[in-house]
Structure 1
Amino acid sequence: MTPDLVYLATGAGLGALALWRLTTSSDPLRRVLALNVLAVGIAMILLAAAHGPGGADAVPQAFVLTGIVVLVAVTAALLALAETLGPRGD
């Protein structure tokens, strides 16, 4: 097994697991975490696909880096929204 295949299989597994959790969970925090895991799975698939016989392609790596920055901002906004709209325990 090549490292690219391991990254591809791991990314696909993380994506499938995150989609399952996203569809079965009703808790907003768990859904936000599932979206984060899905984004990591997609990033792993993109990085595995970027590596070719001539070396790594820089464009998918730039997309993944940009996606990480966007993911942090979206996660912060979704967590604030989940806290605002979620049930109060106090």
Structure 2
Amino acid sequence: MTLAELALIAGPVVLAIGLVAHLLVRDLLRRIVALNIASGGVMMVLLAIAARSSAPDPVPQALVLTGIVIMAATSGVALAFARRVESETDELDAPDDDVEQGEPS
């Protein structure tokens, strides 16, 4: 088994772990980390696709580099939002969706 085949198998597993953790965890920081883990799984798959032949394909490699930059920027914005939520509510849990909203005054 080559390294590319291993990455092609492990990538979807890492992606699934990140998505499941994002859906099950309420803490905002852990959700941000879970999304970063999921994007790491996508990058593993893209790199495995790029290395499938003797001459590596530069397009998936460029997509991975672009994804790293986008992931870093998105994580920074998400951390800023999480900090804002924490400063206003004194907790880092995601807000409840099932809270009944009162009638407008």
How many corresponding residue pairs?
A: 89
The whole-number CA distance in structure 1 between the counterparts of 2:40 and 2:82 is: 21
The whole-number CA distance in structure 1 between the counterparts of 2:29 and 2:53 is: 41
Q: Give the stretch that moved more between structures: 72-81 or 1-10.
A: 1-10
Instruction: Provide the aligned C-alpha RMSD in A.
Output: 1.2
The whole-number CA distance in structure 1 between the counterparts of 2:52 and 2:2 is: 12
The whole-number CA distance in structure 1 between the counterparts of 2:46 and 2:53 is: 16
> Under a length normalisation based on structure 1, what TM-score does the superposition of the two structures give?
0.91
Give 1:55 deviation, angstroms. 1.5
Asked if structure 1 preserves the Cα contact closer than 8 Å seen for 2:4 and 2:52, the reply is no
Fraction of identical pairs, as percent: 38
- Segments of 5+ residues of structure 2 without an aligned counterpart are 92-105
Q: Residue 88 of structure 1 corresponds to which residue in structure 2? A: 90
1:67-82 map, 5 Å: 67-82=67-82
- Larger of the two Rg values belongs to structure: 2
| 2:43 pairs with 1:46 | no
